[in-house]
Structure 1
Amino acid sequence: MSRTTDRRGGRGGSLRVVVVDDSTFMRGLITDLLDDAGVTVVGEASDGEEALDVVAETRPDVVTMDVEMPGMGGLEAVERIMDETPTPVLMLSAHTDDGAEVTFEALERGAVDFFAKPGGEVSAGVSREAERLVEAVRSVADADLDAATRDGASEREATGTATETSGTESVDLDDPVTVVIGASTGGPNAVERVLASLPTGDCRVLVVQHMPEAFTSRFADRLDGVSAYAVREATDGDRIGAGEALVARGGSHLEIGSYRAGRLRVNLVDDDSTSVTPAVDVTMRSAAETVDDPLVGVILTGMGSDGASGIRAMADAGARTIAQSEDTCVIYGMPKRAAETGVVDAVHDLDDVAGAILGGEA
């Protein structure tokens, strides 16, 4: 069974977690934070090799996995766990460029999501972020591991193909199209697959992925490497035209400030009134209000309801709206909430989303 709610006998049971970290202090701190939230820690491990045995013995609902450890590190451990005892893994990664890179590699190998350790004093930082850590653990517990591991393997294959053919395929569109893609848990691999499969054409693409600031620049670099589009992290006042894409910067909302002569101008807005930053709703609503040419809104895998009001605003403005299918989502939260609005034109498996964006399939 791939969904962990099946393994623990329903949502009513207490979550069971294994904590993996080479620091005794960090293992104790994470255990205390989870215990305080009613999450049961059923085992601990100080390295990847030990983690394999503990996970196999305890069969937890979630594993929290440090990235850098002596001996077998987090990357190899994730891959081995997915092969031997498939279990949702939440990576605990450093809030650095190097931490971002290795975290994306872990996601490719089957990890479901990551929790970025705050900078500065570790103990104080993690304690301040306790609620976010617990929420992340609970969200990955609901992950569809079949989708997570399938997405990672397919994304690695798509990356090689897209790099070889980047810029060689194009699509002639009758009208310029602005595409807004929103995603959360499970999104990095899903967005990569969509962008890697999206041929060049008269599109401007905005990507809103729930992700902290230290990671969005590296995410944009990865998308640029697999895509025929020129992708970069958004800056305030940035402009893009056809064949270009922007990734919303972590910690700021991305709004479309103006649209003239086929070029978008974006603004970065600091606003903590939403539960997530950047928020898909903010970007989609601004697109609906500003762009006169054809619009496409896409909601991919993720926890929560962000994007539901945004997709409604885009539909009201005449946009085509697309949601990822439940069978291919790591977390069927955001697409489900979008579909429940009744304004989604089409639901597609992940590998069909790029074609639907350009083909107008309903």
Structure 2
Amino acid sequence: MRGLIADILESGGVEVVGEAGDGREALSVVADTEPDVVTMDVEMPEMDGIEAVERLMADTPTPTLMLSAYTAEGAEETFEALDAGAVDFFAKPGGEVSMGVSRLEEQLVETVRSVARADLSTGSRRRRTAAAAAASGAARSDAGGTGDAGPDVSVEPNTTLIVGSSTGGPDAVERVLSALPGEADLRGVVVQHMPEAFTGRFAERLDAACDLSVSEAEDGMRIGRGELAVARGGHHLEVASARDGRLRLNVIDEERGQGVRPSVNVTMESAARVVDDPLVGVVLTGMGADGSDGVRALSRAGARVLAQDEDTCVVYGMPKRAAETGCVDTVLPLDDIAGGITGERA
């Protein structure tokens, strides 16, 4: 697997300066070679990827991409690695050792290049600090920057929220949603570029961290006040209708020329078509341009559109392309996004 990955990266123009057979060896190789980016398997002898990332971030912080098994167990371990400070992950199809990854050469090279540009000062290590503060009873503003999270919030009734993100998104989404008060009259959808084996676990983690109720989207499900659905990996998610204060969602198992599934564009464009109540769109950190067509549709429908600023993005790709459309109303630091959604910050 190491040889295969090295060949793929080299053929894509990425210089491979070293290899390691386990986490302990990786720490030594990183210290000696000072690479721009590290690809790290989760399962390794001697020292696994989770411990290796923790040590790496403490000793020689380096943008790290986790290579994960495409399984529910792999998802749990991968999220632990993201908590430890890894920037993103790449799911290996077909198990621990599979030549199938060679079919995804272009995507792997693009992801490695994207992770190499990540700003670690905005990375997921801050999630542990925020979570510890929340657990100890600290003010919610320490976790989300939105100030007093009392019942007096200015969210308009029946507001629909659509959040889109990619690289660096799991941490960013959690920090935004955990700062939203449960009393807010919100229902909505989260679209995170993530494989199908991972989105269910992602929804569970968000549900545990948030006052709002979060679950993985199912075909035909209805979500109402205080509820959010996470788009299922490998499928598009449409808002099919908006009635009686609830949204009905369709999970679509087909290609739509978006290049990614789920696509932020598909969900935002569908919401723009059917939602007559107040509508808010948010584009967070991520590589690529997904969401730029969606924010155009939202803007035409009269929605408020927010985007994360460059300084707090792990990768300033999707928010940049969204802002370039001229359809973003407000650009905010990550910790001010929740306040922008509730109307506390303009």
Bin of the TM-score, shorter chain as denominator length: over 0.9
State the Cα RMSD in Å: 2.1
SS at match of 1:156: helix
Partner of 1:275: 259
Select 2:204's aligned residue among 205, 218, 221.
Answer: 221
Deviations 1:239-282 (A, max 9, x none): 10000000000000110111111110010112322111101011
1:50 Cα shift? 0.8
Partner of 1:27: 2
1:105 aligns with 2:88: no
1:341 aligns with 2:325: yes
Partner of 1:307: 291
Select 2:63's aligned residue among 88, 91, 97.
Answer: 88
Answer whether contact 1:162 1:196 (CA < 8 A) is retained. Answer: no
**How high is the TM-score relative to the length of structure 1?**
0.88
Consecutive unaligned residues in structure 1, runs of 5 or more: 1-25
Structure 1 runs (4+) deviating above 6 angstroms are: 161-165
1:185 aligns with 2:160: no
1:120 Cα shift? 5.3
Which structure 2 residues correspond to residues 187-266 of structure 1 after superposition, within 5 A?
187-200=169-182, 201-266=184-249
Deviations 1:257-314 (A, max 9, x none): 1111111001011232211110101100000000000000000001011111101110
Answer whether contact 1:33 1:130 (CA < 8 A) is retained. Answer: yes
* Identical residues among aligned pairs (%): 63
Distance 1:150 1:107, change over 3 A: closer
SS at match of 1:182: strand
Distance 1:174 1:274, change over 3 A: closer
Q: Give the counterpart letter for 2:59 in structure 1.
A: E
Distance 1:323 1:173, change over 3 A: closer
Partner of 2:313: 329
In 1, Cα distance between equivalents of 2:164 and 2:108: 22
**How high is the TM-score relative to the length of structure 2?**
0.92
Deviations 1:29-64 (A, max 9, x none): 111111222221111111111111100100111110
Deviations 1:104-141 (A, max 9, x none): 11111110100011025833311122222112111111
In 2, Cα distance between equivalents of 1:147 and 1:187: 11
In 2, Cα distance between equivalents of 1:343 and 1:160: 38
Answer whether contact 2:169 2:285 (CA < 8 A) is retained. Answer: yes
Q: Which moved more, 1:79-88 or 1:59-68?
A: 79-88
Bigger relative contact order (CA 8 A; separation at least 6): 2
Partner of 1:48: 23
In 2, Cα distance between equivalents of 1:263 and 1:161: 34
Answer whether contact 2:22 2:46 (CA < 8 A) is retained. Answer: yes
